Structure 1
Amino acid sequence: MRLPTSSPLRSLPWITAAALVLGGCATAPPQAAPVSRLDAVQKAGVLRICTPGDYKPFSFQKPDAGYEGIDVDLMTGFAASLNARPEWVKTSWANLMPDLTAAKCDMAVGGISVTTDRQKLAFFSSAYMVNGKTPIARCADAAKYQTVAQIDKPSVRVIFNPGGSNERFARANFKQAKLTLHGENVTIFDEILANRADVFVTESAEAITQQKLKPGLCAINPDKPLQYGEMAWLLPRDDVAFKSYVDQWLHLSQAGGEFQRVMDRWLK
């Protein structure tokens, strides 16, 4: 059959270009799927966990350099589900996100509040606790610090620890009170007892825990926090497989009762 002179098949450049395109599509190698931490942790047998280790009852570093708390117990069980051992990576609240995004650890725990700022840079696990902002003060003064308005006065000395949601809450809500940044979360409660500060606003679980440990301090209305909050674990962004596994493990731990047994061990 003779092709008409107007036929596009008579255009050799067109045929050549089409052949190159089709050939390229046929021979292009498939893109390798990104390696999930789910696979990497199982292969290594080690789960690296960042934590500040200064926040009872979630994660607290002991004098022997070991860790204890709610998240420590839960991470022990979670790591075991991957046939891995937990390896704790000491960090601070200011360096928590930089250390996670720099892949110094596989996840971060230790009483981390869910915030939209953190969500921009990382994934959160499903929230496992509602834990809003609660003032803690000397019991003799508790009646004076029931609300944000009562705390935000020039005569009130508000203390807070750096780098986390406690600092953000204090700076956003207290414009008249005297603000003091205290670098050690472990000793911040002693500052109130020593009358060098009046109020510290933190999560209700920590306020309740510290009033038991520090006679003379009282958590103020922990069942009616000043601001709603949730706690979760911080996970690398875009690792959907790892997040899905973390969430499913947490769900099964809650449904099976182990999660509640850990909570009871530390909060009752």
Structure 2
Amino acid sequence: MGFIKQITAIAAVSIIGLSASMVGASAADKIRIGTEGAYPPFNNLTSDGQLVGFDIDIAKALCEEMKAECEFVTQDWDGMIPALIANKFDAVIASMSITEERLQKVDFTNKYYNTPPAIAVPKDSEIAGVTPADLDGVALGAQSSTTHSNYAEAKFPGADIKLYPTADEYKLDIINGRLGAVIDDVVVLSEWIDSADGACCKILGTLTPDPVINGAGAGIAIRKGSDELKAKFNAAIDAIRANGTYKEINDKYFKFDVYGS
């Protein structure tokens, strides 16, 4: 009986070990994705708490292509990179531009879209153009810790730059007459002015991206050393571009290919 019990115990341990390894493999295929949920049409939280937008649909398509289980974690923009480094999630899909400054802290996949910045102003604005001279002395709003705020600070030294935690907050201030202009992605601004909330304003013009400030497009941020995850994401981006899934998502939101050149 003792020998049989010993064999049974060994078998039980083996089964537990196998189950543990299977759970580990399953857990390895689960990817936690950080996003903001406050940057329409790329990512936004609906009134009932659902995440929607281009970033979200792209993330879901990439996860399906990789056959990985994914879950979303919402995070304020200012804390996005620190939260990634602290392992709150495994990747950031939140319209984060690939810049040299960010590459010092995290790694990136290849881009999954690339659109230029733009300036929007009230419809009755007397501002004539988007040169530094045009915006000299103008209260210019931007979301903080973004390539757009960096661009404003570098290119419009004469402007009175006002920084906001979210895009919604600068939009509210220009609606209420506290700003003379705002800077953001042309798609974000276009989507907004086409809505009832953005009826106050118009696109004054697009800006020529600065490769150092604006980077090489929006990519997926991951922790340093996550080479296998980076390779999987890059392969999945290529795959959805090739099989038509990317175009289907693109056309749901935009009238042009946001992938860029």
- With the shorter chain as reference, the TM-score category is 0.7 to 0.9
- TM-score w.r.t. the length of structure 1 is 0.77
TM-score by structure 2 length? Answer: 0.79
**Where in structure 1 are there 5+ consecutive unaligned residues?**
1-38
Contact 1:209 1:267 in 2 (8 A): no
Name the SS for the 1:105 alignment partner: coil
- How far, CA to CA, are the matches of 2:24 and 2:240 in structure 1? 23
- Distance in 2 (CA, whole Å) between partners of 1:83 and 1:47 is 11
Deviations 1:31-72 (A, max 9, x none): xxxxxxxx9785355321111111111111112221101110
Output the CA distance in 2 between the equivalents of 1:159 and 1:261.
33
- Residue identity over aligned pairs, in percent, reads 18
Q: Match for residue 174 of structure 2? A: 192
**In structure 2, what residue type is equivalent to 1:253?**
I
Q: CA deviation at 1:112?
A: 1.0
Superposed CA offset, 1:114-139 (max 9, x none): 21111111111111222222111123
Contact 2:77 2:165 in 1 (8 A): no
> 1:253: which partner in 2?
240
Matched, 1:166 2:148: yes
Distance 1:85 1:139, change over 3 A: farther
After the TM superposition, which of the residue ranges 206-215 and 42-51 deviates more from structure 2? Answer: 42-51
Return the alpha-carbon distance in structure 2 between the equivalents of residues 175 and 143 of structure 1.
16
By how many angstroms is 1:172 displaced?
Answer: 2.2
Report matched runs for 1:215-234 at 5 Å.
215-222=199-206, 225=208, 227=210, 229=214, 230-234=217-221
Q: Is the 8 A contact 2:120 2:183 kept in 1?
A: yes
Alignment-mate amino acid for residue 104 of structure 1? K
The one-character-per-residue Cα deviations of 1:4-49 (angstroms, maximum 9, x if unpaired) are: xxxxxxxxxxxxxxxxxxxxxxxxxxxxxxxxxxx97853553211
- Residue 79 of structure 2, aligned match among 56, 81, 95: 95
Which residue type is aligned with residue 173 of structure 1?
K
In 2, distance between residues paired with 1:110 and 1:40? 28
State the 1:144 CA deviation. Answer: 2.0
Q: Which runs of 5+ in 2 are unaligned?
A: 1-22, 256-261
Q: 1:41 to 1:54 in 2, by over 3 A?
A: farther
Measured in 1, the distance between the counterparts of 2:163 and 2:205 equals 24
Matches within 5 A, 1:23-34: none
Query: Partner of 2:6 in structure 1?
Result: none
2:205 is paired with a residue whose SS is coil
Q: Secondary structure at the match of 1:104?
A: coil
Contact residue 57 and residue 249 of structure 2 kept, 8 A = yes
